[in-house]
Amino acid sequence: MSQATVLGHSHCNAFAEAKAENPGRWPAIAVHRLEDKRAKDDAVSIPAAVALLKGQPPGAPTFFAIMGAYHNLLGLLRSGETFDVLMGADDRPDGGATALVPQRALRSAISEQFEQSAKMRNLMAAARGPVFIVSTPPPKRNNDFILERFMRQKKQIYRGKAVEQFGVERPETRLKLWLLEAQLMTEWAESLGAGFLAPPAAASDEDGFLGENYYSDDVTHANAAYGALVLDQVAAILERSSKQVSHG
């Protein structure tokens, strides 16, 4: 069987925790955290990751849990007048918003990150088989939860203003920003010849927010149970990929 590699930043922690909690459940899936400010000793550098991918067997799929968090920069904290963005032709304006941001203006803001993705392209070029971009988890609905987790952090003051002075953005706006970024990630993945691994449906509530059972103990991440659902998705793709290889 081919080996699948999951490589990425902090969202990989959920996958690694899932593996640790379920020893032997996904033997053909390796999870690696890329080196960053808080992950050095237990993480791989970009050159090491490139070497690791080049050493994979031909046809081995690679899953990148990288990027896709820009919606958090735009929409975790309120930035002014309550705004809405229409998601499609059938979407109706949100009566709670006093300003509209044209969707294509917002998309151009989120898309900026893709123009600077040279490292990502280098990593993708090293992959030996199909490549997938892994979605970030859907946003959390619970503003009290988010505010409380923000308040625990030490860096919560900036230019004399605290998180609670900005306020946490409305959940529905947060969800729309995440959906827009997911759409753009899908289009970006397609443009690179990659697939996009959407979040597991079972992890979302009826409105599309991350189910509370899948919350990690911070603002943006999901937990090991969510990681397990994603690894099951990876395993299913790997199985299909293996069958195609054996039949080919």
Residues in contact with other proteins by the rule CB under 8 A: 9-11, 34, 36-39, 66-70, 72-81, 83, 86, 88-89, 91-93, 99-106, 108-109, 112-113, 116-120, 136, 150, 153, 155-156, 158-159, 161, 163, 166, 218-221
User: 224: which 2 tokens?
Assistant: 């090991």
Residue among 12 and 238 whose Cβ is closer to other proteins: 12
Q: Exposed, middle or buried: residue 132 (CB in 10 Å: 0-12, 13-18, 19+)?
A: buried
Residue 214 C-beta: closest distance to other proteins, Å: 16
Residue 234 C-beta: closest distance to other proteins, Å: 19
Q: Of 174, 175, 170, which Cα lies nearest the Cα of 97?
A: 170
Residue among 59 and 107 whose Cβ is closer to other proteins: 107
Residue 33 C-beta: closest distance to other proteins, Å: 10
- DSSP result, 28-94: TEEEEEBPBTTBSTTSB-HHHHHHHHHTSPTT--EEEE----HHHHHHSB--SS-EE---STT----
Angle at 19 between CA 58 and CA 17, to 5 degrees: 125
Which contiguous run of DSSP H or E holds residue 226? helix 224-247
Instruction: Quote the CA–CA distance of 243 and 237 in Å, as a whole number.
Output: 10
Residue among 121 and 247 whose Cβ is closer to other proteins: 121
Residue 120 C-beta: closest distance to other proteins, Å: 7
Residue among 57 and 102 whose Cβ is closer to other proteins: 102
CA atoms within 13 A on the CB side of 129: 21
Residue among 16 and 109 whose Cβ is closer to other proteins: 109
Residue 145 C-beta: closest distance to other proteins, Å: 14
Residue 184 C-beta: closest distance to other proteins, Å: 13
Residue among 25 and 161 whose Cβ is closer to other proteins: 161
Rg for the chain (alpha carbons), in Å?
19
Residue 147 amino acid letter: L
